[in-house]
């Protein structure tokens, strides 16, 4: 989950017609609650999901977002863009931030900045490094409200599997609810959303993953670790791949890709990033 301050791309100063339409449709939710940091009620999430005017405006705005992502990510995979277009990001942000849900920037989920909905380009960058595709098995550490998992399950398709772990009970409850509202189509699989500490659960999930040799496990970490946990490295199977932000401080983070090839762990760095830091139950 990328920190809000991390965004490389500023908000557009002059909103396009789709962006203005989204802002107008979202206005009714901007002042819906007295406390923006309070848990979002299920009734409000349901109202947002049922708002046809908002949904249409948001989809038009996401079409512009996809055009932006093509330029910024040097022509990302078509099925990744299809997922961005299809997944209603406006449902996964806080209601107060719906007007900016089609912006390529992270959105805060708590007052302390410990959780965000990452910028769309951040998810696509990670998925690209993982070479995530149809039929893959993905373990995501850091569900947030479920936006990344919603994208991933469209990418892996009905033959794939997505398991996502979230440590915050409030975020987990909302993620389960939101993922259920966008799982009505027959060509996508449900996400297995787990509540718990990713550092504790991930080794067991990696070890218990039942995938054929041609489909090695893939792991996306959405928060920054000071180093990749040793149990993750030890249990990563042949061909398995992990992508995570790694760094001792927020200012020193880099996106790291780890892949097992026989007895060797191949590690490569893919540029500076700034993600929220790891939370553990310890």
Which residue of the set 118, 189, 210, 269 is catalytic? 118
Q: How far apart are CA 11 and CA 106, in angstroms?
A: 11
- Report which DSSP code applies to 275: B
Q: How far apart are CA 221 and CA 50, in angstroms?
A: 31
Residue 14 Cα distances to 11, 19, 91, angstroms: 9, 9, 24
For residue 13, report the phi and psi dihedrals to the nearest 5 degrees. -75, -30
Q: Which two tokens mark 272? A: 């500076």
CA torsion sign for 89, 279, 258, 203 is negative
118 a catalytic residue: yes
Q: How far apart are CA 147 and CA 71, in angstroms?
A: 22
Per the rule left: phi > 0, alpha: psi between -120 and 50, beta: everything else, 131 is left
Q: How far apart are CA 101 and CA 7, in angstroms?
A: 14
| Residues assigned a catalytic role | 118
């Amino acid at each position: 989950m990328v920190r809000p301050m991390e965004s490389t791309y500023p908000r557009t100063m002059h909103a396009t017609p789709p962006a203005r339409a989204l802002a107008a449709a979202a206005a009714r939710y901007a002042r819906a609650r007295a406390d923006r940091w309070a848990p979002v009620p299920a009734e409000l999430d349901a109202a947002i999901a049922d708002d046809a005017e908002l949904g249409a405006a948001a989809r038009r705005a996401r079409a512009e977002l996809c055009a932006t992502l093509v330029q910024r990510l040097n022509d990302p995979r078509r099925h990744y863009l299809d997922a961005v277009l299809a997944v209603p990001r406006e449902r996964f942000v806080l209601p107060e931030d719906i007007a900016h849900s089609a912006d390529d920037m992270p959105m805060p989920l708590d007052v302390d900045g410990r959780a965000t909905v990452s910028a769309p380009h951040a998810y696509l960058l990670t998925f690209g490094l993982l070479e995530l595709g149809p039929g893959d098995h993905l373990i995501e550490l850091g569900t947030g409200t479920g936006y990344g998992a919603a994208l991933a399950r469209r990418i892996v398709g009905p033959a794939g599997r997505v398991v996502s772990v979230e440590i915050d009970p409030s975020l987990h409850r909302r993620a389960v609810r939101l993922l259920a509202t966008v799982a009505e189509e027959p060509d996508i699989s449900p996400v297995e959303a787990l509540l718990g500490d990713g550092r504790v659960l991930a080794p067991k999930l990696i070890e218990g993953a039942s995938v054929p040799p041609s489909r090695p496990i893939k792991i996306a970490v959405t928060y920054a670790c000071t180093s990749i946990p040793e149990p993750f490295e030890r249990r990563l199977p042949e061909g398995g791949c992990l992508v995570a932000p790694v760094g001792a401080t927020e200012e020193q983070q880099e996106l790291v890709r780890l892949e097992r090839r026989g007895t060797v762990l191949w590690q490569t760095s893919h540029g500076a990033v700034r993600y929220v830091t790891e939370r553990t139950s310890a």
